[in-house]
Amino acid sequence: MKSELEKDKLSLKKISFYLCIIIFIMLLTGVFYLKSYFDSDKLASLVIPKLEESLSRKVKIRDIKLKFIGGIGVKVDGLIISKSLDFEEGNLAELDSLNLDFALLPLLNKELKIKDLTLVRPIIYLEKDRVSKTNHNSNSNISKSNSKKGVNPVFNLDKLEIVNAQIKYIDRQKGSVIELGNFSSELNISLDQDNKLSTAGKSTIGRLSINNSSQKDSNIEDLNLSLKHDFIYNLANKKVEVRRFDLGLDQLDLKSQFNLTLGKNQLKIGDFKAKAGDSSLNFDADLRETENPSLGIDLNSDIYLEDLLAKLPIEFSKNLSGNIKADLSLKNIRINQIKDNLQNMKLSGNISLDKFNLDDKLAIKDISARVQISEQEIKSDDLKLAIAKDIVNAKIKINKWKELLADILNQREEVSGSINLDLAAEGLNLDKILGKKKANKAKVDPSKAEEKKVYLPKLNLYSKVNIDSLEYQEDEYEDIMATIELEDSIVNLEELSLSQGDSNLFTSGTVDYSQFSLTNDFKSIDFDLNVNSDINLAKIRRNLLKVVPKLKRYDFSGRLNSDLSAEFLLSDIMEDPLSNLEKINIYGDIAVSGNNIELPQMENTIKSLKGKFKFNKESLEVRDFNFNLSKSDLSAKVSIGDWRDTLLVLLKKKEATNSKAVIELNSKLISIDELLSLLFNSSQRVKKKEKDNGEVKKSAPKIPIIIQADIDALRYSSLVVSNINTKGRLSNELLEVDKLNLGINGGSITAKGQLDFRPNKPQYQGDLKIDQIEINQILSLFTNFNNKLYGKTNLTTKFGGRGFSLEDILNSLTLQGTALIKDGELKGWGLVNKLNNSFNLFDEESLAFKDLQGNIDLRDGRLYLDDFSADTKRGDIKLVGSSTLAGKVDYQLDYLLSDKESKELNLNHKELFYAPDTTRVELNLKIKGSVLKPQVRWDKGDIEKKIKEKAKDKVEEKTKEEIDKAKDKIKKELEDKKDDLKDIFKGLF
């Protein structure tokens, strides 16, 4: 029995063994049959058409094989999916090899189990052309089969491995290229009978390259991005449980988990928890509806930016840092209609910032604040920030913030809500805030520049600013205070004040930009400002030097006080302000007081300058104006009927004006030399500039001016004039002096005339009367004949000339009139010495006379004297001739001695020097040479004539005597022959 059983067992084993061998041989035969039947070409002919039909693209396969070891599988080498013809880049996809292994037994139980799917070196090219067409648009004809109800397929992918993949995306519309390299992944996917899809695994990306034509390129060769995940997706209730979502990027290790629910019209993220280092983020989010999605978020975060960003391999252009904490609830956020639905949005909670920095290049740093958000307002009572090294504290409150934000986003003209802002700082340094380097701005062609409309809403804002000190361009300003209210497109500047040392400035007023809101023309902004100031001029000069270094030649100090109001449109001062002067209203007072003013036009320093300027609607009044040079002083009152019109004429924007200026001048002393030096130097600089620039001299402005002056003393060279009183008018560059009264050492001058500024050298003419002025002062001023002739002078003459310099006056001055020197004396002159040597006529080398008078004519630099005569102690003087102002003389002097002096004169042939019909001696002298070295000689013409006449008389007397003798002799002879003659005559008859 036993042996039979053993035999049966042995037989069964043999049969089983043989059956296995037969099955193996059958399978092996089948495999060899299948592999021989489905060779590479056969498989390719079956697979490629199906792929090309479904992808609508050309497909190439270098080799394809079936595998039967451990299951059934396919190995594909050299797979290429070609691109569309419309695109420039290479193939859509390339693959070195693909390995796919199935398990056979699970297929019998309707389970699809892929043991291994490996993709080696896949390369994918994605491209968008210039018309936004992409090369990966799906035109496939893949049929969609509806799975039968009640059938739940089971699917397992034990291993999906991607080795060294590359993806390249080209956007030719934007000119950008993104490349992803060294991408590898290993994961598993399974779908169980309960419709739960599970996936877990790890992926890495080694390289990232971003090239953009308009931005800086970014290339990260060692990206080291890794992602570990573990998801469970319940297909029945469409819920996703993310048990693990860990992101590794360089030093960053982000761990997160959350639940995701996908409904028909809902996406819900619950219990999202993420942590990276010390930073954490927790939130719940609910997104409903697809056409008009509504989002709700409950957020709690604690982010340390610097630590978080430092772990990333990417260099950010902005270095964010600081800590942000948020505890917010946001409900009913309509993503597609945020601007229209802001008022229905619900937001509440708190945001805390601690030393938050947007960018280390910005001056604003270390922002700290706790912001409270409610349905009606946003406020922060403890906002603190650092600007450079300065700390600014602020309070801000925004009422009806949702309505305000909605109105601004929708660019509504009327804006709801209001903003209250208070700023306070102990100090600010604007140099560090603004930076000293100026950015190079690209030049924009105005013709190509597009005009962008600027939206300025009617915002309600109230702000107060209080800064203890402010540094700008190495200057420090103190006590800056400002109060600003913005309402209905009007900025109401209630107060803006600041100080700098002993200088103070206060400004108030309004800025109306309502027209700008309508027209988008910023030049329509309307200003109405009031300015009160008390400013140190020396500090103004120091600040101006930083902008205009040429002002270094100008030195001044003093104070400027103002109380001004100004009304103008921005366009009035930006577009040719001189043409819009009538539209610019300025009224108020300016007071200036300056000391030690140095101008390049002047050799001497202006010791002081003071003045008060009062601007009315049209007129300008200058009061209490005082001007002091080293020698001269001047005070003035000026009234200008229309200062705008006058200014245009002065700037040569108009030819003439009817606006009248009235000037009243007063002075204790004026030095003409000093003033002429100023005028001469200024005119020389102007002429040189015109000559260098090739400019043609233009006529001076034509302004009607009425002038009245009272001057105590006027100094011109050595001449001192006192009590000057004058009145005149200037019109069309012609100064007409109605009267000029002045005194010189007890004498006086009265004049009237005209001064014409139109020629290159001003011309003057008029009438001049001099009473009781010492002649020596006049001669000392204009000639070298000084300290020799004395006496009080009366002069009535007409005068003319051109130019103001002494040289011009001497060369061009003309005088025609009469002159009288009373009780004069000539002494200390070489002429007197020479006359004394010859005649011993004068005592103590002097010649006194009572009245010397005659006609004068000054022309071409030569003074002509005609019919001059004088009575002296010893006789009468007559003088005729001329002399130059340089001192050359040519005179005829006739001196008729008295009877007494003639008798006492010891002179041979004295009778030859007698005046006609008298016994008085008359000396005729020729005076030539110079006033300093006169040459005197007798005029011998009369004496020689007298000698000739005397000789003639003697000859005639002798001749007469001889004739008389001859007559007597003839008479006697005739008497003697008388009788004889009678006899002869008788005989004849």
In the chain, the number of structural domains is 4
Q: Domain of 983?
A: 957-988
Out of 129-133, 164-168, 213-217, 752-756, give the one with best mean pLDDT: 752-756
Mean pLDDT for the chain?
78
Instruction: Report how far apart, in Å, the C-alpha atoms of 260 and of each of 190, 233, 257, 276 are.
Output: 18, 9, 10, 21
Q: What is the mean pLDDT of residues 374-387?
A: 87
Q: What is the pLDDT of residue 866?
A: 92
In a domain, 735, yes or no: no
What confidence tens digit (pLDDT) does each residue in 203-222 have? 888 888 888 766 666 666 66
Check whether residue 348 and residue 226 sit in a common domain: no
Q: What is the mean pLDDT of residues 850-862?
A: 89
Q: Distance (Å, rounded) from C-alpha 624 to C-alpha 881?
A: 53
Alpha helices in 225-359 (DSSP H): 305-310, 338-341
Helix axes 978-988, 941-976, angle to 10 degrees: 60
Check whether residue 69 and residue 183 sit in a common domain: yes
Q: Which residues, in sequence order, are bridge partners of residue 637?
A: 664
What confidence tens digit (pLDDT) does each residue in 115-156 have? 888 888 988 888 887 777 877 665 545 444 444 444 456 678
Q: What is the mean pLDDT of residues 500-517?
A: 87
Q: Distance (Å, rounded) from C-alpha 628 to C-alpha 604?
A: 11
In a domain, 773, yes or no: no
CB count in 10 Å sphere of residue 440: 6
| Residue 745 confidence class, pLDDT cut points 50, 70, 90 | confident
3-state secondary structure 583-616: HCEEEEEEEEEEEEEECCCCCCCEEEEEEEEEEC
* Residues 819 and 856: beta-carbon distance below 8 Å: yes
Instruction: Give the three-class secondary structure for 980.
Output: helix
- Pick the last residue of a domain from 331, 361, 391: 361
Check whether residue 82 and residue 222 sit in a common domain: yes
Check whether residue 21 and residue 112 sit in a common domain: no
Phi, psi of 553 (to 5 degrees): -70, -15
Which amino acid is it at 262?
L
Looking up tokens 């290790």 gives 253
Is beta strand 390-399 parallel, antiparallel or unpaired with respect to 428-429? Answer: unpaired
What would the two tokens of residue 643 be?
A: 């200062």
Q: Distance (Å, rounded) from C-alpha 26 to C-alpha 735?
A: 138
What confidence tens digit (pLDDT) does each residue in 614-626 have? 988 888 899 888 8
What confidence tens digit (pLDDT) does each residue in 232-256 have? 888 777 788 888 888 877 777 778 8
Q: What is the mean pLDDT of residues 487-513?
A: 89
Q: Residue 438: pLDDT above 50?
A: no
Q: Which residues, in sequence order, are bridge partners of residue 586?
A: 566
Q: What is the pLDDT of residue 124?
A: 85
Instruction: Give burial (CB, 10 Å; 0-12/13-18/19+) of 712.
Output: middle
Closest to 74 (Cα-Cα) out of 45, 49, 50, 99: 99
Q: What is the mean pLDDT of residues 753-758?
A: 88
Residues in the chain: 989
Q: Distance (Å, rounded) from C-alpha 986 to C-alpha 977?
A: 14
Q: CB within 8 A of 950, min separation 6: which ones? A: 912
Which amino acid is it at 852?
L
The C-alpha angle 222, 225, 230, rounded to 5 degrees, equals 160
Q: What is the pLDDT of residue 988?
A: 37
Which has more pLDDT, 642 or 71?
642
Instruction: Give the DSSP H/E element, type plus range, for residue 870.
Output: strand 862-872
Which has more pLDDT, 783 or 166?
166
Check whether residue 218 and residue 165 sit in a common domain: yes
Out of 152-161, 346-355, 517-526, 833-842, give the one with best mean pLDDT: 346-355
Q: Structure pTM?
A: 0.61
Out of 187-191, 537-541, 904-908, give the one with best mean pLDDT: 187-191
Instruction: Give burial (CB, 10 Å; 0-12/13-18/19+) of 905.
Output: middle
| Residue 976 confidence class, pLDDT cut points 50, 70, 90 | low
| Residue 449 confidence class, pLDDT cut points 50, 70, 90 | very low
Q: Residue 841: pLDDT above 70?
A: no
Q: What is the pLDDT of residue 230?
A: 86
Check whether residue 52 and residue 173 sit in a common domain: yes
Which percentage of the chain shows pLDDT scores above 70? 77
Q: Which residues, in sequence order, are bridge partners of residue 957?
A: none
In a domain, 339, yes or no: yes
| Residue 698 confidence class, pLDDT cut points 50, 70, 90 | very low
* Residues 115 and 101: beta-carbon distance below 8 Å: yes
Q: Distance (Å, rounded) from C-alpha 816 to C-alpha 521?
A: 69
In a domain, 101, yes or no: yes
* Residues 156 and 125: beta-carbon distance below 8 Å: no
Q: What is the mean pLDDT of residues 265-272?
A: 82
What would the two tokens of residue 290 be?
A: 């697809």
Q: Distance (Å, rounded) from C-alpha 249 to C-alpha 309?
A: 11
Q: Distance (Å, rounded) from C-alpha 695 to C-alpha 683?
A: 14
Q: Residue 559: pLDDT above 80?
A: yes
Closest to 160 (Cα-Cα) out of 254, 229, 236, 67: 229
Instruction: Give the three-class secondary structure for 480.
Output: strand
Instruction: Report how far apart, in Å, the C-alpha atoms of 838 and of each of 825, 841, 865, 872 are.
Output: 20, 8, 26, 18
Looking up tokens 């406020």 gives 379
In a domain, 274, yes or no: yes
Looking up tokens 């994605």 gives 126
Q: Which residues, in sequence order, are bridge partners of residue 466?
A: 424, 481
Q: Distance (Å, rounded) from C-alpha 795 to C-alpha 772?
A: 9
Q: Residue 544: pLDDT above 80?
A: no
Check whether residue 48 and residue 27 sit in a common domain: no
* Residues 119 and 161: beta-carbon distance below 8 Å: yes
The C-alpha angle 706, 709, 713, rounded to 5 degrees, equals 160
What would the two tokens of residue 274 be?
A: 């993420």
In a domain, 53, yes or no: yes
In a domain, 921, yes or no: no
Q: Distance (Å, rounded) from C-alpha 559 to C-alpha 504?
A: 11
| Residue 986 confidence class, pLDDT cut points 50, 70, 90 | very low
What confidence tens digit (pLDDT) does each residue in 22-59 have? 554 554 445 555 555 556 777 777 777 877 777 778 88
- Pick the last residue of a domain from 306, 333, 361: 361
- Pick the last residue of a domain from 320, 345, 361: 361
Q: What is the mean pLDDT of residues 905-927?
A: 78
The DSSP code for 170 is E
- Please report how many Cα atoms fall inside a 13 Å half-sphere around the Cα of residue 437, on the Cβ side: 3
Q: What is the mean pLDDT of residues 786-796?
A: 85
The DSSP code for 432 is H
Instruction: Report how far apart, in Å, the C-alpha atoms of 493 and of each of 135, 145, 181, 528, 778 are.
Output: 61, 75, 60, 10, 66
Check whether residue 214 and residue 329 sit in a common domain: no
Q: What is the mean pLDDT of residues 748-755?
A: 91
Q: What is the mean pLDDT of residues 878-883?
A: 88
Instruction: Give burial (CB, 10 Å; 0-12/13-18/19+) of 661.
Output: buried
Check whether residue 318 and residue 184 sit in a common domain: no
What sign results for the dihedral spanned by CA atoms 498, 501, 502, 503? negative
The C-alpha angle 262, 266, 270, rounded to 5 degrees, equals 65
Q: Distance (Å, rounded) from C-alpha 977 to C-alpha 365?
A: 163
Which has more pLDDT, 694 or 755?
755
In a domain, 382, yes or no: no
Q: Distance (Å, rounded) from C-alpha 232 to C-alpha 215?
A: 41
Check whether residue 62 and residue 186 sit in a common domain: yes
Looking up tokens 């930083």 gives 546
Check whether residue 162 and residue 116 sit in a common domain: yes
Which has more pLDDT, 488 or 144?
488
Which amino acid is it at 462?
Y
Check whether residue 65 and residue 129 sit in a common domain: yes
